[in-house]
């Protein structure tokens, strides 16, 4: 499954917007995407976006699907602090495609999804005549806490803390089962991104 998801991400990086088809089941119910998710991996045609503190490093914790939009509840790291952010991606006439105004207009495509396991989004953004593509893998599974780590108490019943949680905004470190790469990354390899992993492609 990991190799399949990796291959999907690499394919999406080189795909023009017109080739995005969405989930294999064209009748897939988008509301099944609603729920708690965790940022698992990133891929981009611009490697600098995968560096610590870059704009692409938004750590998702929840997606809510409404009749007209996706509500994305996430965190980003600002000056060493996790800051909660809620942004909206409005549905378009094309199924599984959304528009979001966040750092400029971004076109988001829902690509692959297993509601019990993972979801893949592909984002296209044009700036100064250059197109940036970011592929994001969200997972239902969280990385186990390291030995000696004591998580903060939940801020409300049944949900993990929304701010300052190391599993969402941690600094780069070794991830069990994956080797530490150089800070710049090696094309086509994984490197840790806090408790997440980023795929650095050129």
Residue 68 within a domain: yes
Helix (H/G/I), strand (E/B), else coil: 9: helix
Residue 26 within a domain: no
pLDDT-derived band at 196, boundaries 50, 70, 90: very low
**pTM of this structure:** 0.65
Examine the pLDDT at 64 and tell me if it is beyond 90.
yes
Tell me how many domains the chain contains: 1
Residue 20 within a domain: no
* Chain segment 154-185, per-residue pLDDT in tens: 444 444 433 333 334 543 333 322 222 333 33
pLDDT-derived band at 194, boundaries 50, 70, 90: very low
CB-based burial label for 29 (10 Å; 0-12, 13-18, 19+):
exposed
From CA 109, how far away is CA 172, in angstroms rounded? 28
Residue 51, phi then psi, degrees to nearest 5: -75, 160
The arithmetic mean of pLDDT across residues 129-138, rounded, is: 86
CB-based burial label for 110 (10 Å; 0-12, 13-18, 19+):
buried
Examine the pLDDT at 68 and tell me if it is beyond 60.
yes
* CATH number of the domain encompassing residue 103: 2.40.128.20
pLDDT-derived band at 91, boundaries 50, 70, 90: very high
Examine the pLDDT at 53 and tell me if it is beyond 70.
no
Give residue 68's domain range. Answer: 2-10+33-145+163-170+184-200
């Amino acid at each position: 499954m990991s190799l399949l998801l990796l291959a999907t991400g690499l394919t999406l990086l080189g795909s023009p917007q017109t080739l995005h088809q969405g989930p294999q089941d064209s009748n897939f119910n988008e509301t099944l995407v609603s729920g708690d998710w965790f940022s698992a991996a990133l891929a981009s045609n611009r490697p600098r976006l995968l560096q610590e503190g870059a704009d692409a490093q938004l750590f998702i914790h929840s997606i809510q699907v409404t009749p007209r939009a996706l509500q994305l509840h996430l965190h980003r790291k600002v000056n060493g602090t996790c800051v909660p952010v809620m942004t909206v991606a409005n549905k378009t006439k094309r199924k599984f495609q959304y528009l979001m105004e966040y750092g400029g207009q971004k076109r988001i495509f829902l690509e692959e999804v297993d509601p019990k396991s993972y979801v893949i989004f592909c984002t296209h953004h044009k700036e100064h005549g250059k197109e940036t593509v970011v592929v994001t893998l969200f997972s239902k599974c969280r990385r186990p806490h390291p030995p000696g780590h004591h998580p903060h108490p939940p801020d409300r019943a049944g949900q993990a803390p929304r701010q300052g949680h190391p599993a969402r905004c941690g600094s780069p470190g070794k991830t069990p089962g994956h080797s530490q790469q150089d800070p710049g990354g090696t094309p086509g390899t994984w490197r840790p991104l806090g408790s997440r992993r980023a795929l650095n492609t050129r």
